Amino acid sequence: MAFRANYHRDRAERDRSARARTAEKLNRREEKSAQRKALRAAAEAPEQAAEQDTEQLTENSGKDRASTGALANAKMSRE
């Protein structure tokens, strides 16, 4: 005599495999999202760094000019 079909076990296996597929899709989606975020952050970082560099250059250029002017005046007064 053949065994009776175990529908509960079959259904549990199908559900388990469906959950595994769903989890795998979610993992792939999260990985792609993380890559996009990293690329976006890398693209924004140079722009922000360039803005900060230009701000620093404008601030430093004024200070450098003032300090070089003071140095020049000091040298002239010594001579």
Q: Which pLDDT tens digit goes with each residue over 34-59?
A: 999 999 998 887 777 666 666 666 66
More confident residue, 38 or 63: 38
pLDDT band at 12; cut points 50, 70, 90:
very high
Confidence check: pLDDT of 66 > 60:
no
Distance CA 76, CA 79 (A): 5
